Amino acid sequence: MELKVQLTGISESVGHLLPELVLISSLVISLLLGLFLKKNKQTILYIFSLATYLASFFIIIQTWPHQPVSLFGGMMRLDDFSAFFKLLFFTGGFLTILISKQKGETASEYIILIDAILLGACLLAMSMNFVMLILSMELISLPSYVLAGFAFDRKSSEGSLKYFLFGTVATACMIYGISLIYGLSGTLDFSSNQFIEALIDSKDSLLFVASFLILTALLFKIAAVPFHLWAPDVYESAPTPVVAFLSVVPKLAGLAIFIKMVLALNLFGQSALPWSMIVAFFAILSIVIGNLSALVQTNPKRMLAYSSIAQSGFLLIGLATMSMEGIHFLMFYAVIFLIMNFLVFAVLHQFENSINIQSVHNFAGLGRLSFLPAFSLLIGMIALTGLPPTAGFTAKLLIFTSLWTSYEDSHSITLLILMVVGLINTVIALFYYLKIPYLLFLKEPVSGSVAIKNSFPRNLFHLILVMLLIYLFLLPGGLMGWINQITFVL
Amino acid sequence: MSKQELLFFFSAFLFCSGLLIAVTKKNAIVVLMGIELMLNAANLNLALFNFQKRGMDGQLLALFIIIVAVCEAAVGIAIILKSYHFYHSSVLDQISDLKEKN
């Protein structure tokens, strides 16, 4: 009888995983298409994957709002929080395929790997159990290591090797940490009462060690200091669309599980460890080190890597407040981060087709020759800095508001330091974010430089993203109201 | 010292030596070996702690981790082979084109 109940539970759970099932079947079909198609392989595969991502996206929209439902005997839980992140992942996948230009012979592998990362990200956002956490984390990591090497050249293979070595060490640390937590709590389900009851009075130093070991892999995934060392190398060497993808989807997936993990280990504020301060500490480190290292970079992709590290710090601020409001603003920031990051990398990719973008000095004066791409890049950079009239400003403003509220409630000095450091660094960030627009518009073109290849679809794509950034600055209410309806209980 | 404590310390020793190997060794393949040691330390822990608890979830997770370790090794060896193709070496100090340029 027991078995029968379990089997019914499993077959009922499968019905809730429709977007993932679509993704899995798309993965298998892409594999077969890659084997059998001879002509127009690339185009067909791209259109097919775009269609599947759209389909999965609309399936999630259709079933909104979700009643929180526990799947597969507590392995995962589907609620609005995870569905929100799943929407972001599919948007990220869609935009990546739109700007990708992988050559025909590797196109199907490229799409399969992206499908696998999206699948892992969806499962990670839903997971409620350490088994699921480890498996979906690996499902994201392993294809990422391979994708980082997809330029198939000397540098790219090195970037992928470094990413792999750092990544596996971080994962191994996390797995050991999980085994310790299992020993202390006796359960792998981190949302269960048993987990909370076992750890609530524990002042064991083992809990301290185990928590930090688990944080290792999560901080690695979102590229936060001190586990950020892979990011500059991978960003510099991997193909630009892959970088855009890796800087958004695995990072947001990592962030989703980071939020769940910290809230679980926080034990409703009963934990012996000051989690708000720990998160604030890593946020401060990421913001300061990311920004200061970005200042001295001359390679734009390397600079954006450090900028992305600093952005992780800003995202973590929302979690450091440990309030529902802060997490809502973090989710708003995540949406804006996705748009502005894709905008900047898409424009860089367009420049890359015409000029060597290894150094910012190659951009000098190109703004006058090709206005539209340069203008889109300017807006993207302004948004990343966090200045009006872009939604980057709204996102930063909201996240600092929640930080201030939280400081007034708790009078924690760490939060005050975080506030001051964050505001000062927004000013510092101006210097490097506006370096490229400065060169584009205010420098004389080097003799012999020509306008970059213009293409109408690409310009339109950039303009849509620019419009979105400005629209969300003027009217953030719609998106914010929608996010505010998302309730989140562990 | 009871048998359990002994095993627990043994797994901690395995983890530390694995981490030490992964951090200090110069050859990428030896680093992979260190990572395997770290994962096996976690497996030993899981199997050990499972003795005192009801259910099988610890041992099941250990099985899953063995699978994860195999996947990591497969992907890792492929990536190391690819970079060997370009650099003719698997020593990490020689694979260092990417670094800060100031």
Residue A171: what pLDDT?
A: 95
Whose CA is closest to A214, among A253, A257, A274, A256?
Answer: A257
Whose CA is closest to A110, among A21, A242, A221, A249?
Answer: A242
What DSSP character marks residue A273?
Answer: S
Question: Which chain B residues in 21-40 lie under 8 Å from chain A, judged by CB atoms?
Answer: 22-23, 28, 31-32, 35, 38-39
B3-94 is a CATH 3.40.50.2300 domain: no
Q: Do A134 and B48 touch (CB under 8 A)?
A: no
Q: Among all residues of chain B, which has the CA nearest to that of A159?
A: B98
How many CB atoms are closer than 10 A to CB A480?
17
Q: Do B19 and A134 touch (CB under 8 A)?
A: no
Whose CA is closest to A27, among A59, A66, A68, A56?
Answer: A56
Span A369-385, pLDDT tens digits: 888 999 999 999 999 99
Residue A361: what pLDDT?
A: 83
Give the one of B31, B48, B61 whose C-beta lies nearest to A165's C-beta. Answer: B31
Does A419 fall in a domain? Answer: yes
What DSSP character marks residue A67?
Answer: P
Tokens of residue A161, six digits: 């090797």
Buried b (16+ CB within 10 A) or exposed e, A97-117: bebbebeeeebbbbbbbbbbb
Span A235-273, pLDDT tens digits: 999 999 999 999 999 999 999 999 999 999 988 878 888
Write phi, then psi, for A42 (nearest 5 degrees): -60, -50
Tokens of residue A386, six digits: 């966090």
Does A14 fall in a domain? Answer: no
Span A190-235, pLDDT tens digits: 888 888 888 887 778 889 999 999 999 999 999 998 899 999 999 9
Furthest-apart CA pair in chain A: how many Å? 81
Q: Do A237 and B22 touch (CB under 8 A)?
A: no
Q: Could you please report the per-residue DSSP string of chain B?
A: --HHHHHHHHHHHHHHHHHHHHHH--BHHHHHHHHHHHHHHHHHHHHHHHTTSSSSHHHHHHHHHHHHHHHHHHHHHHHHHHHHHHHS--BGGG--------
Contact B90, B80 (CB under 8 A): yes
Whose CA is closest to A86, among A120, A134, A129?
Answer: A120
On the question of pLDDT at A20 being above 70, the answer is yes
On the question of pLDDT at A38 being above 90, the answer is no
* DSSP H or E stretch at residue A70: strand A69-71
A-chain residues near B92 (CB < 8 A):
165
Contact A72, A43 (CB under 8 A): no
Give the rounded distance of the alpha carbon of A234 from its chain centre.
Answer: 15
Q: Do B57 and A180 touch (CB under 8 A)?
A: no
Give the separation between CA A28 and CA A115, rounded to whole angstroms: 10
Give the separation between CA A314 and CA A316, rounded to whole angstroms: 5
Q: Do A158 and B22 touch (CB under 8 A)?
A: no
Tokens of residue B21, six digits: 């190997």
Write phi, then psi, for A270 (nearest 5 degrees): -90, 0
DSSP-derived 3-state class of residue A207:
helix
Contact A227, A219 (CB under 8 A): yes
Give the separation between CA A413 and CA A425, rounded to whole angstroms: 18
Whose CA is closest to B41, among A199, A198, A178?
Answer: A178
Distance (Å) of CA A299 to CA A27, A191, A338: 35, 44, 22
- By the 10 Å C-beta count (0-12 exposed, 13-18 middle, 19+ buried), A61 is classed as exposed
Confidence tier at A466 by pLDDT (50, 70, 90): very high
Give the separation between CA A412 and CA A277, rounded to whole angstroms: 8
A-chain residues near B86 (CB < 8 A):
153-154, 157-158
Instruction: For residue A178, give how far its alpha carbon lies from the nearest alpha carbon of chain B (Å).
Output: 8
Instruction: For residue A116, give how far its alpha carbon lies from the nearest alpha carbon of chain B (Å).
Output: 14
Q: Could you please report the per-residue DSSP string of A164-194?
A: HHHHHHHHHHHHHHHHHHHHHHS-SBTTSHH
Give the one of B46, B82, B85 whose C-beta lies nearest to A182's C-beta. Answer: B46
Q: Do B98 and A153 touch (CB under 8 A)?
A: no
Mean pLDDT confidence for A400-405: 94
Who contacts B30 (Cβ-Cβ below 8 Å, separation ≥6)? B21
Write phi, then psi, for A20 (nearest 5 degrees): -70, -35
Does A31 fall in a domain? Answer: no
Instruction: For residue B10, give how far its alpha carbon lies from the nearest alpha carbon of chain A (Å).
Output: 13
Residue B53: what pLDDT?
A: 80
What DSSP character marks residue A267?
Answer: G
Residue B7: what pLDDT?
A: 93
On the question of pLDDT at A315 being above 60, the answer is yes
What DSSP character marks residue A15?
Answer: G
On the question of pLDDT at A396 being above 70, the answer is yes
Domain boundaries, chain B: 3-94
Who contacts B87 (Cβ-Cβ below 8 Å, separation ≥6)? A154, A157, A158, B94, B95
Amino acid at position A370, single letter: S
Give the separation between CA A430 and CA A255, rounded to whole angstroms: 25
Average per-residue pLDDT in chain A? 91
Instruction: For residue A25, give how far its alpha carbon lies from the nearest alpha carbon of chain B (Å).
Output: 22
Q: Among all residues of chain B, which has the CA nearest to that of A238?
A: B98
Amino acid at position A22, single letter: V
Q: Among all residues of chain A, which has the CA nearest to that of B15?
A: A176
Span B11-56, pLDDT tens digits: 999 999 999 999 999 999 999 999 999 999 999 999 999 988 878 8
Residue A425: what pLDDT?
A: 92
Instruction: Quote the number of domains for chain A.
Output: 1
Does A367 fall in a domain? Answer: yes
Who contacts B28 (Cβ-Cβ below 8 Å, separation ≥6)? A161, A165, B76, B80, B83, B90, B91, B92, B95
Contact B17, B37 (CB under 8 A): yes
Does A171 fall in a domain? Answer: no
Who contacts B5 (Cβ-Cβ below 8 Å, separation ≥6)? none
On the question of pLDDT at A297 being above 60, the answer is yes
Alpha helices (H) along A411-489: 413-433, 435-442, 456-474, 477-484
Q: Among all residues of chain A, which has the CA nearest to that of B63?
A: A131
Whose CA is closest to A147, among A2, A71, A249?
Answer: A249
Taking the CA atoms of A379, A382, A386 and A387 in sequence, report the sign of the dihedral they define.
negative
**Bridge partners of residue A20, in order along the sequence:** none
A-chain residues near B41 (CB < 8 A):
176, 179
ipTM field: 0.96
Give the separation between CA A430 and CA A381, rounded to whole angstroms: 9
Give the rounded distance of the alpha carbon of A128 from its chain centre.
Answer: 19
The domain in which residue A427 lies consists of 274-490
Question: Which chain A residues in 257-316 lie under 8 Å from chain B, judged by CB atoms?
Answer: 296, 298-299
On the question of pLDDT at B102 being above 70, the answer is no
pTM of the model: 0.95
Mean pLDDT confidence for A387-397: 92
Instruction: For residue A296, give how far its alpha carbon lies from the nearest alpha carbon of chain B (Å).
Output: 7
Question: Which chain B residues in 52-91 lie under 8 Å from chain A, judged by CB atoms?
Answer: 52-53, 57-58, 60-61, 64-65, 68, 71-72, 75-76, 78-80, 82-83, 85-87
Does A62 fall in a domain? Answer: no
**Bridge partners of residue A129, in order along the sequence:** A189
* DSSP H or E stretch at residue A129: none
Give the separation between CA A294 and CA A300, rounded to whole angstroms: 9
Distance (Å) of CA B22 to CA A42, A166, A169: 40, 10, 7
Span A124-174, pLDDT tens digits: 999 999 999 999 999 999 999 999 999 899 999 999 999 999 999 999 999
Residue A450: what pLDDT?
A: 72
